[in-house]
Structures are given as C-alpha cells and as structure tokens.
Structure 1
Amino acid sequence: MKVLIKNSFATLALLACLTACEVDRLPETNISDETFWRSESDIKLANNYLYTFLPGFNTEDNWSDDAFGLAANNISDGSRLAPATATNDYNNVYNLIRAANNTLEKAPRAAGAVSPAVMDRYLAEARFFRAWGYYSLVQKYGTVPLILKTLTEDSPELTQPAASRDEIFKQMYEDLDFAIAKLPTPTALGNADYGRISNTAALAFKARVALFEGTRAKYHKYGDPNTHLTLAVNAAKAVMDSKEHDLFGNYFDLFQLAGEGRQNRENIIVRQYGVSNTDRVSTHNYYRGSLETGNMNPTKSLADSYLMKDGLPVSKSPLYKAPVKSVDVFTDRDTRMSATFMKAGDPYMTTKPIFDIANLVFNKTGFTFRKYANIDDWNTQASTTDRALLRYAEVLLTYAEAKYELDGAISDADLDLTINRLRARGGVAKLTNALAAANGLNLRDEIRRERRVELAQEGFRYWDLIRWKTAETELVKPVLGNYFFKSEYVSSTVNLTPDNYIIVQAANFRKFDPAKDYLWPLPVNELALNPALQQNPGW
C-alpha cells in the first residue's frame, strides 16, 4: 500500500477540524495540543493531510478552447455571474493554507524529539503547500488576503484588505526557496517516500509560478516581467541540471498504470490513488465518468494544433491530405495526437471493446479524449491511476518559453535541449530557426503550440490563454468539432459549417470581456464578511 495515501486518509479522520476556512471565522482545531505535536510521526501525519488538497481529475479544460462538455460552460463562453457564496475555488484553498500555517506554528513544539534537519523538512513541505495554495488564489482572483498564521474568531487579519500581487509572489518565492533548500531529492526520497514533495518539485513549481507571472505581467503590461522570467529560466534549468528527472519513453503509457512510481522519472508531482484495485484507498472514475460519457471532449482547435511529422502545421505541410475517413485525421501526424484522441481500432470499453467513431449524443465534438482511457477502469469504475500534476516535460517547456520571452529569440541548442526532445517522442521533425524562417513560422507561436499539444487534457490551456492575454481572441471563436464523416457517424442532427465540420457552439453564444474576465469574481458573501475586500473590476 502506498504509505502516503494510507496516512493521508488516516489524517482526514484525525484532523478534520483543521478544514475551517480563515474567512469563515470558524474556531481553532480542538485536537489537544497536549497530546499532539510531540514526535516526527505527529508532524508527518499532520503534513499528510496537506497532500489531500492536491487536485484530482476534473473537467477544467472545458474552460478553454481545447474541450467542450455535454453543455455550455459559463467560464469559457463568458456567461457566469459572481457567486453568492464562497466555493471550493476560494474556501478550500484557504483550508489548505490554514493547515500549512498550523504545521508551521505547532511543529516546532516537537523540537526536542526531532533533529533540526528533519524539522526543516516538514516545515519545508508546509511552506511548499502554502505557496501552492496562494498560487491557485492569485491565478484566479489576482489579489487576496495574505494570511501567514492560524486565526481565531477575533483575529484582526480577518478584516484586512487584499495583499498586492507583489507581496503574494514575494511570499511564494520565499516559501519555495525554503522548500528547495530543505527538502530531500527524489533519489533520497526513494521508493519508500515516493509521492512526497522533493526539492526538484519545489524548483519545478517555482518555475511554473514565475513563468505565469512573468508572461502575464509582460502581456498585461504591469510590474517587472523580466525578474519573474529570469527566475523561471533559472529554476527550470536547475531541475534539468539536477539529472533527477527525464522523459518517459512512451507518451500514452505516461497516463496509465505503466507510468506510475519511481521508475517513471518524468512525474515530479502526482496525485496518488493506489497501487491496484485490490490494494487501494482512494479511486476515481475519470475515464467512464468524464471522457467516455462526454463530459469533456476535444475540439477541432486542439486537433488542428498537432503538427505533421515533418514539423509543419496542416496548413503548410505537403504531407497533409484531406481526410476521407476518420482514421485519416491521424495519418502522418504527431503521435501524441493518437495518444490523446481516440481513433478507430483503439481499445474502448467493456460494452464496446473497439472504438470506431465518437457517439455524437455524448461526444458533442465528434472527438473523444484518450489519455487515461483504460477498459478495466471503465468496467470497475474505480481507477487507481495517478494524476500527473507536474511533469518534467513541463519543465522543458517552461525553460524554452521563458528563454524566448526574455531574449526574443531562442538558439537551436536550447531548442534541442527542450522542445525537440518532446518532438522526438512524438515522432516529429525538429524545430529549428532555419525551419521556422523557411516556412514563415513564428517561433513564439511554435513554442506555445508545443506546450498546448504536450500538455493537452492536463488543465493548462485556460491559464495559458489568460497569461498570454489571448483569451479575448480565442474564447470568442465558435467551438468546432471533427469533420462530419457521414458514412461513419450514427445518424444525428448536427449543425455543420460550409466545409462540413461540426458546429458545437456558435460564435454568437460566446463572449469574453477583457475588462473583467481576466480575473475571477470574489464570492459576494466574502465581501460582506470582510468590508476591506474589494470586488474585482467589472464584477
């Protein structure tokens, strides 16, 4: 049994009262401090609770232009309203921050029984998770109260105003730098502690945070983008130079049981579920509940992003031929497409072992996602396949993008170190400055394309559109699906473009207001609880 998972769920029972949200003004934990915080095992148990906040499988890609569900999404089509009450996007994150602050305050009580190095390791885990929480908040809301201690009902911090972006990022970097210095390497963690946060996990996450803010500041025109971009380059390069991580050989297997555990050095942070269906604590039903049933389906926009194997887009490659049947869509393409999209002949589900064509009743785009698809999981509805949350591939992409954004150019050597390693796994020709120049390609766009296809279906696209300030261009476009292969699709009533592509949501039903939609609305009840908070502009 994975020790982390087992202990995490034990902690849920022991530390349930730690989930009080700062802003809800609930009282302190009633776990007796006289009988807890006395040993390393106590601190580890408390920290295991932090791991339960790592996100599980979801359909957040529906927020973007990469995916569409069974119905319209009010984030991607711009129809949402400010929520009346706090949701998990706000409250649950402060629960995590509170739990991290609790460890930081109370773990030192065990100093007499725990060595300074061991103590620092657990404090570093807590600081990592505090940074993880604040990153989630600042992505959405921009500025929020910066709470660095546990609060009681009469704490003055309950009515403090939001901190500035600079203050929040400064704190995140301080927390992550402490974690980088004090956490063990993945090698030191070994098999026994696989799944716990390592120093390279803190470095890789710092690179993610810094790339987000560096590019957001650059394209939204505020702050000092180059400071963040430099941090992103340096943190990503430190992960690369550590030699602790590498790419996994098979892209499809990355998202199967075959890609789990220490033998897969690409995974840096994962949400763990179990070892097998007979040795598990937590399970999910992502494949049957979200993918096969159509709660999240890939779009034509995503499909068109995959290159031909000569390294050119379909609009420029001489290899491209208009498809006659559905499997033709995958001919001579980046193999990551056939690992991410279902195609005729792929294993599918128990009641239909072999996939032929998407069912338009459920899969509205005429496409079906394939990552994490597994017939056994469909049958049992209880998968233990881990969710990859941060992979080495992302680190390579971060390095390439941050270098380009800093310098306005990228060398072929750096492309070989990063982008071209990913392309090689997908069977795609190298990206070079010469190839780009000869074919009228923009290197920035090609780096962004690589990020889109490599990390497809992993929850990145919406946030990329936000930081690049392209959501106002991309999210107002119509949502299109696959070419309508009349001889293959079951008779359905669908709307089609003049060139025979499925129209899933027309452009007149989509909007994105750049004056307000780049930030999320704060819950209305939080504004009532704390009059010092101000609603984000336009909401």
Structure 2
Amino acid sequence: MKKSFKYIIIALGMAMGLPACEVERLPETSISDQTFWRSEGDLKAAANYLYTFLPGWSTDDVWSDDAIGLASNSISDGSRLAPATDGNYNNNYNLIRAANNIVEKAPRASGNASQTVIDRYSAEARFFRAWGYFALVQRYGEVPLILKTLDESSAELTAPASPREAIFDQIYQDLDFAAQKLPTHTTLGTADFGRISNTTALAFKARVALFEGTRAKFHAYGDPTKHLKAAADAAKAVIDSKQHNLYTGQYFDLFQMPGEGRQNPENILVKQFGVSLTERVITHSYYRGSLENGNMNPTKSLADSYLMKDGLPITKSPLYKAPVASVDVFRDRDTRMSDTFMKRGDPMMTTKPIFDIAPLVFNKTGFMFRKTANIDDWNTQASTIDRPIIRYAEVLVTYAESLFELNGTISDADLDLTVNRLRQRGGVAKLTNAFVTANDLTMRDEIRRERRVELAQEGFRYWDLIRWKTAEVELPKPVLGNFFFKTEFGTVAAVRLTADNYILVQDASFRKFDAKKDYLWPLPINEIALNPSLKQNPGW
C-alpha cells in the first residue's frame, strides 16, 4: 500500500473529476480524464487519493472532559460563532466528490478490467463516500445528499438538505455494498495491508449505526431500534468473520511500531505514515507537538474512570488509598492507565530521558498522555507511527453497548465475548450481572466506562457525550488535574488547588454547553449564502 501512494498525484486530478485540457496537446507526462479509467492500475491510483483523507493524530479530545490544552477552546467554553468557512464541511464534500467520480467512471475500465476489479474499487469509493457523509451528519445534522459529480449548472448545487434518515440509509447502502464486494482482511495480506477490507466496512457500519441508534434514543427522535440492530449485526459479523483479534502484546505497544502492520490482528483500519524515516509516506510530530508540550493533557475525570484491579471504581474499592506520591495514582489500577498516562520511570524525551513528574507550565493538569510517546520521535519530530482508526477493541465495545441499548440487558456470555476480553488485557476483574448488582453499579455506566478507558486519547469521547445527550451535564464541570504532590511538583507560581488538594485547571464558569444549540455544529455562513435552500441549525 505504501508504495502505491506514488500514484496519488497522478490520480488526484482524475479522482476530483477536473475538466481535461486539450488532449492532443498534452505533454507526455500529463494524463487527461478521457485517457484515464482504462485499467485496474488507473482505478487503484484514483482510489489511492481517497486514503489521503483519513484522519491523522489529533487533539479533538480537548473538546471533551477527557483532556484540556494549554488554553481554552471555543467548543468547550461555548464562545464559538458560526464560521464563514469550515474545513470539516468542505473537505468532506471534496472527498464525496472524488468518491462519486470513481463510482461513475470505474465502469469505463470494463474493456481491460474484470467486473470484480471494477466492483472492488467502486466499493472502496463507496466506503469513503459513507465516511464523508457520516462526518458531515455527525457534526451538522441534515446536509445535501449528492451522489453524482456536479458541474456549474447542476440543480443539486441549490438543493435543500436531505432528511437525516435518508443520509443514513445511503451510508448503510454504501457500506453494505463495500462489505459484499471488498476482499477479506486475510486476502489483502501484507502486500495490500492498509486498504479497505470487507470487515473495515462492517466495523465502520457498526460505529455509524451505534452513533445514530443511541443518539436517536437519547435525543428522542427517529427509529433507534433500526440503527441499534444494524450496529449489533455489523459488529457481530466482524466478530464471526474471525479475521481479527485483540493484540497479544502490551497495550502500550498498540501505539508503537510493534503494534503496526498485518501481524497485529487488532488493526482494522489505520492511517499509514511509514515504517522508518527512509521508508515513509508522510510523518507527524504528535508526541512532541501535542502531548509533551501540553496541547492535550489528560484530566482527573479521565484518570478517575480507570477501575481498580478488583473491578470497582475508586469510590467503592477497598484497594484504593489516597495517593501520597505520584506513582500511587497507578497502584492496583487497570494497567491500561499506566499505558495511557506517563508515570515516574517511563522513557520520556531526549532532553529528559526518564519521566518523573509532569511540568505544570506545559502539562497544566499535572498529567501527561503516554500513547505514542517515543524518544526517537521526539528527537526527530518526524514520527511514522501509524494511527489506528478502527480497532477490533472498538468493535467489541460497540457490540456490547448496542446489545444493551437494544435489549436493556446483556448476558454474561456476551460480556465475556466483549468487555471482559478488554478487562483481562488491563488486569481487571470480570464484569458480570451479579457483580453489578452486588456492588450497586449500573451496567450501562460500566459498559460506557469500558469504552472510555479502552479508547482514551483516540478522539471518541466528545462524540460519545453528544450521542448520549450527557454533554450538557459533563462538559460544564470544572476541569481538575492530578493531586498536587508538593515535594514532586515543587513551588509552582499561580497553581490553583481545590480544598482537597487537586489541581484546578479551569473553573466551571469557563465551561459552557448550550443544549438548545450545541448538539449540532453551525453550518458555514458562506455555504448558506451560496445555497439559500440551506437553513442554519437552531440557535446559530
């Protein structure tokens, strides 16, 4: 897959559907739309462009209660206004246009490529079209549903937004087609690792359907049962395929080079960067540029969500003791906490090889994220660690949540199939119905907790709060950090503490969420000006 990216530049214009120049006068190095779409190589090259839209590592978790940056952001403090333009809107429509172009023009290769080949790359394009539409409807709600390439005179340019349900129906159609026509993960093998497989389409369908099913349920609209059943069925199909499994190494290594590639069965979809500085597609500086310098710091809220090893939260477990030193925070806890948070003794960076305590001038919560931390990457600022976008672990927690929300219950057998496999990885006692009853817990909260800790730092938390309709409760709370260990943090100017000695990073008065408008994002003003049929979302 990495080698095939050399064709991206050639394919870019073809995939975007740009008009061709005078064909007979093109230089030998140019390709026109009329002479493209002739072979399997052309289709693959065009499809390669779609992969450039896959998201890299980000700091989106600062929108949620899991993390905060060096400064407030307009989403969590409630200060944002409807923007003139928004890359989240335009970039996704660029992806959709490129995908539509491939779906329309792939059949031109029928003289030199089999129907199986044409279907395969059409299926990749339909997967990415579904990806683009989900990203749009997740943010903005109803948007125009465009399933063909347009020109300047197309009536669709001034079409109103399509109903939300119609958009999801189209997403499901595209993903079902992809699941039927794409190769299995095993068939792709090492040579084509990174391309979309049939289980990628199913796993993404499970994500999409869980989002809409729970959102419809808790926001009281539509048909939650339809979507929750689709989520459960798609997740179970991935499980039953036997194409994937959990990584058998350390959880921390999932986000390092040992967790990369075909040999890790947990990888369903990744954003590929490369395998070394000399063999790379692109690079990133996520560790040094976002984590170590404080642009995304974990909160006490996230830290507190990690269970003690007896399976109980810190508020109920007899194992929990108030910390005296910073390492005490991790004692007898889910080991995924130690793999996600920096602790004393962990490798850190070139100028400070061993971590002791987070510098509050950067890591304002007194915590620092550890996933992707790598000294060599800190030094070069050119990491090639891939970003896992869909992991098998997500499929497992999706199946558990969709079953529970669909039926109001979940069996111990299904807990063993899903949540308890992840708890075992963290060294945490099993979750059972009897355990929940005996300890006055709620099954919904424990399933949600498992999702939160397993997928921490991976960009899910904000959208989970949105779909559960709990953002209005969780986001306006004050942001707290670590216990203030004076002998370790030292004398720090202007540090604020709560009465029980936790770092107070941001008062509740600076955290706002308006339930009347903030569950949808504002449409860009320029798009409404270009298309008067579009209506701004309520409250914006």
TMscore range, shorter length: over 0.9
Q: Provide the residue aligned with 1:24 in structure 2.
A: none
Contact 1:18 1:29 in 2 (8 A): no
Matched ranges for 1:435-454 at <5 A:
435-454=435-454
The question of 1:523 aligning with 2:524 is answered yes
1:29 to partner: Cα distance? 6.2
Q: Provide the residue aligned with 1:8 in structure 2.
A: 5
The superposition leaves residues 211-257 of structure 1 with CA deviations (integer Å, 9 ceiling, x where unpaired) of 00000000000001001000111100000000000000221100000
Q: Provide the residue aligned with 1:377 in structure 2.
A: 377
- Once the two structures are overlaid, the 10-residue window that deviates more, 260-269 or 29-38, is 29-38
The superposition leaves residues 387-436 of structure 1 with CA deviations (integer Å, 9 ceiling, x where unpaired) of 00000000000000000001111111110000000000000000011111
1:9 to partner: Cα distance? 4.8
- Once the two structures are overlaid, the 10-residue window that deviates more, 127-136 or 4-13, is 4-13
The runs of at least 4 consecutive aligned structure 1 residues that moved more than 6 Å come to none
Alignment partners' CA distance in 1, 2:5 and 2:468: 37
How does the TM-score come out when normalised to structure 2?
A: 0.97
Alignment partners' CA distance in 1, 2:487 and 2:6: 51
Matched ranges for 1:104-503 at <5 A:
104-249=103-248, 250-492=250-492, 493-503=494-504
1:15 to partner: Cα distance? 1.5
The superposition leaves residues 279-325 of structure 1 with CA deviations (integer Å, 9 ceiling, x where unpaired) of 11211110001000110000000000000000000000000000000
Alignment partners' CA distance in 2, 1:90 and 1:18: 19
1:14 to partner: Cα distance? 4.4
Alignment partners' CA distance in 2, 1:170 and 1:29: 34
Q: Provide the residue aligned with 2:88 in structure 1.
A: 89
Contact 1:9 1:49 in 2 (8 A): no
Q: Helix, strand or coil: the match of 2:486? A: coil
Return closer, same or farther for 1:518/1:252 CA change in 2, 3 Å cut-off. same
Contact 1:28 1:151 in 2 (8 A): no
Contact 2:465 2:471 in 1 (8 A): yes
The superposition leaves residues 318-370 of structure 1 with CA deviations (integer Å, 9 ceiling, x where unpaired) of 00000000000000000000000000000000000000000100101110000
Return closer, same or farther for 1:157/1:28 CA change in 2, 3 Å cut-off. farther
Residue 497 of structure 1 aligns with an amino acid whose one-letter code is T
Residue 488 of structure 1 aligns with an amino acid whose one-letter code is E
1:55 to partner: Cα distance? 0.3
1:6 to partner: Cα distance? 3.6
Residue 162 of structure 1 aligns with an amino acid whose one-letter code is A
Q: Provide the residue aligned with 2:27 in structure 1.
A: none
1:19 to partner: Cα distance? 5.3
Q: Helix, strand or coil: the match of 2:505? A: strand
Residue 511 of structure 2 aligns with an amino acid whose one-letter code is R
- Once the two structures are overlaid, the 10-residue window that deviates more, 230-239 or 485-494, is 485-494
Contact 1:359 1:490 in 2 (8 A): no
Residue 266 of structure 2 aligns with an amino acid whose one-letter code is E
Q: Provide the residue aligned with 2:508 in structure 1.
A: 507
Unaligned runs of at least 5 residues, structure 2? 22-30
Contact 1:8 1:52 in 2 (8 A): no
Residue 514 of structure 1 aligns with an amino acid whose one-letter code is A
Q: Helix, strand or coil: the match of 2:489? A: coil
1:33 to partner: Cα distance? 2.2
Residue 10 of structure 1 aligns with an amino acid whose one-letter code is Y
Contact 1:274 1:384 in 2 (8 A): yes
Alignment partners' CA distance in 1, 2:404 and 2:328: 34
Contact 2:19 2:33 in 1 (8 A): no
Alignment partners' CA distance in 2, 1:393 and 1:419: 9
Contact 1:84 1:523 in 2 (8 A): yes
Aligned length: 529
Residue 483 of structure 2 aligns with an amino acid whose one-letter code is Y
Return closer, same or farther for 1:485/1:17 CA change in 2, 3 Å cut-off. farther
Contact 1:18 1:95 in 2 (8 A): no
Q: Give RMSD over aligned pairs.
A: 1.1
